[in-house]
């Protein structure tokens, strides 16, 4: 993120002379709201994103001597939206709509909560326009052959080899998010029946996911042959652990998988999400109903699944040429429009 506030922004008017009703500062209001989100079961990833968004908003307000929620008007909140629009990332390029939304969503949610709790008389952010987030195709997609090339990068004789191979296999078989992998515990896995239970996944929802035979075999080998030695004196139930026995973090899981994708020298960059997307796409191409894929991925809306499971353009073109009546080449058609001579 760039320095705050951006130098390109015009100075805004001084604080609106509104006396605070409750005495709560913006910082205190934000803390209470985040605590309410925790009690509602928001995921750690969402809480972290909300906390970051509110922190930048508070810094923006502090620079303009806006310290209490009562001082924020619809006009000022829309000016904050404009400020976010002009933000640049660390590479100097403008933020995409999805990144802008990460700044604005927690702010709009905060004021909606303050109004609902009667801390504010009305919601000044009710009319705050959110950026239209475009559903974009992923930049890179792994083919089944490329997935196997990634798997082959793991040296299973290395101290962490079995863990890493099991991790890759579980992601590709189930499509779990990295937050769900980090939270996965032994009671959540039933290798005999071939099921994995995701407890309190995204949106605070549980779901039951089938896991393939190959993934079960690698996971069983890791749990039996390597995890007890990595665990040492620790007694926690987390499935994937560091060499020191502590549970693997989301960031470590991402970097682990990213490293193997990079080592495969496919010219493609990615991590957990790339294997998650590969699982969904390969199942769809194999004939799976998109509603089953939606259930596995834990998507609330089918439109989200449709983006994850878009086939490559060349695959779509190949299917079209093989199946469309006008695309099947039996003989060269006469397109001259003239009569035979």
Burial (CB < 10 A; 0-12, 13-18, 19+), residue 112, is middle
Measure the CA–CA gap between 92 and 263, rounded to whole angstroms: 29
67 is catalytic: no
48 is catalytic: no
pLDDT of residue 107: 96
Residue of higher predicted confidence among 43 and 229: 229
Given a contact cutoff of 8 angstroms between Cβ atoms, the answer to whether 103 and 56 are in contact is: yes
276 is catalytic: yes
317 is catalytic: no
178 is catalytic: no
Say yes or no to pLDDT of 341 above 90.
no
Catalytic annotation, pick one of 68, 202, 277, 282: 202
pLDDT of residue 40: 85
Residue of higher predicted confidence among 236 and 315: 236
Q: pLDDT digit string (tens) for 240-250?
A: 999 999 999 99
Q: What percent of the chain has pLDDT over 90?
A: 52
Global pTM value: 0.66
When pLDDT is cut at 50, 70 and 90, the band that residue 309 belongs to is: low
E strands of the chain, at which residues?
A: 189-190, 195-198, 207-210
Catalytic annotation, pick one of 207, 258, 273, 315: 273
All structural domains of the chain, each given as residue ranges with its CATH number in brackets, are 1-134 (1.10.150.130), 144-313 (1.10.443.10)
Catalytic annotation, pick one of 108, 178, 299, 310: 299
Catalytic annotation, pick one of 163, 222, 308, 310: 308
Catalytic annotation, pick one of 163, 177, 238, 310: 177
pLDDT of residue 315: 64
When pLDDT is cut at 50, 70 and 90, the band that residue 138 belongs to is: low
Measure the CA–CA gap between 95 and 84, rounded to whole angstroms: 8
273 is catalytic: yes
DSSP code of 71?
Answer: G
User: 37-46, 197-206, 302-311: which range is least confident on average?
Assistant: 302-311
Q: pLDDT digit string (tens) for 7-31?
A: 444 444 444 444 445 578 999 999 9
Report helix angle 272-285 to 161-174, nearest 10.
Answer: 50
Average pLDDT, the chain: 84
pLDDT of residue 224: 95
User: Residue 88 pairs with which residues in a beta bridge?
Assistant: 94
């Amino acid at each position: 993120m760039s320095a705050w506030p951006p130098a390109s922004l015009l100075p805004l008017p001084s604080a609106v002379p509104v006396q605070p009703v409750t005495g709560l500062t913006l910082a205190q209001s934000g803390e209470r709201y985040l605590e309410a989100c925790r009690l509602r079961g928001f995921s750690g990833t969402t809480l972290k994103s909300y906390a970051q968004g509110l922190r930048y908003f508070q810094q923006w307000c502090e620079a303009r001597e806006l310290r209490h929620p009562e001082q924020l008007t619809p006009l000022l909140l829309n000016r904050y939206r404009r400020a976010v629009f002009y933000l640049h990332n660390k590479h100097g390029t403008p933020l995409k709509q999805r990144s802008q939304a990460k700044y604005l969503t927690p702010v709009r949610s905060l004021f909606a909560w303050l109004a609902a709790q009667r801390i504010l008389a009305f919601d000044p952010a009710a009319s705050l326009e959110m950026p239209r987030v475009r559903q974009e195709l992923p930049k890179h997609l792994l083919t089944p052959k490329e997935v196997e090339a990634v798997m082959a990068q793991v040296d299973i004789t290395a101290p962490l080899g079995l863990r890493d191979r099991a991790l890759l296999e579980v992601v590709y078989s189930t499509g779990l998010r990295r937050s769900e992998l980090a939270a996965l515990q032994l009671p959540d896995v039933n290798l005999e029946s071939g099921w994995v239970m995701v407890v309190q996944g995204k949106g605070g929802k549980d779901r039951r996911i089938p896991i393939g035979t190959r993934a079960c075999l690698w996971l069983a080998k890791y749990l039996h042959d390597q995890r007890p030695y990595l665990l040492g004196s620790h007694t926690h139930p987390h499935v994937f652990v560091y060499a020191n026995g502590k549970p693997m973090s989301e960031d470590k899981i991402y970097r682990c998988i990213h490293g193997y994708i990079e080592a495969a020298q496919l010219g493609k960059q990615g991590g957990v999400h790339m294997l998650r997307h590969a699982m969904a796409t390969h199942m769809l191409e194999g004939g799976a109903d998109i509603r089953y894929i939606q259930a596995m991925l834990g998507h609330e809306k089918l439109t989200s699944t449709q983006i994850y499971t878009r086939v490559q353009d060349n695959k779509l073109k190949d299917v079209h040429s093989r199946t469309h009546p006008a695309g099947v080449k039996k003989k060269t058609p006469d397109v001259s429009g003239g009569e035979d001579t």
